[in-house]
């Protein structure tokens, strides 16, 4: 069984590829792809703006900074907070054999989130699955259902 694909996903991917292929390379800032970092075009529903809708893979150092910031925001939560970490990848581009597959960078993010949440009231849910894996979606939905079910309901009388 595979995950459902949005009806326009294939058209969006084709549109992004077409837009990137047609874009003048002079319009894409050279430094974005510097140092061997993957650079691809991205956009919603196949709409691209040459040189603007570029996506660059975050480095391990950048992922560490992101993890620190995410954990700091989560520590400020005033109610139940349970972030879900898909340990096998965070995006379709970051899947194994994808242009953004970088387990070291992903682990840097996860390590920073774990460290930043240590000692807090925030529960961390880690799953040995990719973000787009149906099993991850089901687990996250089940967790959300538990959180909603555990919330007190207002007295309506």
- Give mean pLDDT, residues 83-92: 92
| pLDDT over threshold 80, residue 139 | yes
- Give mean pLDDT, residues 149-157: 73
CA distances from 35 to 31, 62, 106 (A): 8, 14, 18
Distance between CA atoms of residues 100 and 91, nearest Å = 8
- Structural domains present in the chain: 9-56 (no CATH), 60-150 (3.40.50.12030)
* Predicted TM-score of the model (pTM): 0.67
Only one residue has tokens 């990137």, namely 20
């Amino acid at each position: 069984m595979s995950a459902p694909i949005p009806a326009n996903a294939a058209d969006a991917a084709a549109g992004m590829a077409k837009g990137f292929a047609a874009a003048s390379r002079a319009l894409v800032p050279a430094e974005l792809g510097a140092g061997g970092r993957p650079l691809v075009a991205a956009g919603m529903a196949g709409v691209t703006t040459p040189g603007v809708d570029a996506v660059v893979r975050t480095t391990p150092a950048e992922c560490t900074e992101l993890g620190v910031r995410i954990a700091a925001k989560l520590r400020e939560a005033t109610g139940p907070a349970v972030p879900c970490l898909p340990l096998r990848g965070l995006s379709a581009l970051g899947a194994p054999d994808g242009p953004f597959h970088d387990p070291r960078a992903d682990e840097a993010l996860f390590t920073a989130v774990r460290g930043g949440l240590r000692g807090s009231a925030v529960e961390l849910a880690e799953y040995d699955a990719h973000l787009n894996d149906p099993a991850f979606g089901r687990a996250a939905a089940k967790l959300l259902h538990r959180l909603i079910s555990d919330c007190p309901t207002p007295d309506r009388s």
